[in-house]
Amino acid sequence: MSLVTIDRERCKKDGLCVRICQKVFSQEAKDSVPRVAHEGSCNSCGHCVLVCPSGAIHQVDSPPENVHPVRTDLMPSYEQVREMIVTRRSIRTFQERPVEKEIIEKVIDAARFAPSLKNTQTTQFTVVQDKPLLHAIASTTAEWLGKVAKRLKNPLWRKLYMLRGETDIEQVLQWINQLDLMAEKMRQKVDLVLFGAPLLLLFHADETMRSADVNATLALHNATMLASSLGLGSFYTGYVVTACSHDRTIPRLIELPKKQRVYGGLALGYPAIKFSRWIDRKPAQVKWM
């Protein structure tokens, strides 16, 4: 079965499909019906289906029931989008209140619409709400951070780390103190990893897929902004993600398939403390050419 076909009877010969995707379509003359010249280059994005005014194009992964009109009346203004962006903060104080399933589903729904390399849509999601499991993930992460701090205290390991050129001695020493603190606080039953968040949303994918990490990061950004619009607070759980990359304990806890890797994580919950002001950032460093 062909991925893409053109109904010659319905085609208006406007060439919009060629203009939107020259990788797949070609047109010999302005008044001729375009043809599918390179079907193997189709990424199933559906652009050709969306742009065709006569509905002459059929794409296997974009059937009519999956096509929806744009609600221009719901599109936010520049000021509204910018206000949401500049006021979003990383939240680490949460209410005991659990996050409703329908709210979580809306966050994931936004994440799945993020762009991905060649429309591969590689990102999968794991929702962790079980309190003992959340505690185990936080504890495992804190324990791993303590081991990293201990290793960095060794002058040889510290020198090898700094040879990578990513940091200097002052920053390494600062990290050692911070990682030690997080490990010690966890032993005192103070969670500085997930901060008692009632929900952890993990973004993962098959590690053999190209750009799976970028795809997951884009999905995570969508999730962050949508969560903010729903009144949720969130923060990126970088320590958990890094721990997953170096230790299989957490992937085993969440029953992650062996060929998959965690590429992103968001702690989510209803904020216990809200911000009514925002702080400016450094001016953008821009090179105009």
Predicted confidence (pLDDT) per residue in 87-115, tens digit = 999 999 999 999 999 999 999 999 999 99
pTM over 0.85, yes/no: yes
89-275: which CATH topology?
NADH Oxidase (3.40.109)
> Model confidence over 38-86: pLDDT tens digits?
999 999 999 999 999 999 999 999 999 999 999 999 999 999 999 999 9
Query: Residue 89's CB: how many other CB atoms inside 10 A?
Result: 16
Provide the 8-state DSSP code for 119. G
Tell which residue, 31, 29, 22, 63, has the closest CA to residue 44: 63
Task: Name the architecture of domain 4-66.
Answer: 2-Layer Sandwich (3.30)
Cβ atoms < 10 Å from Cβ of 184 = 14
Query: Could you tell me the two tokens for 186?
Result: 């966890």
Q: Where are the domains of the chain?
A: 4-66, 89-275
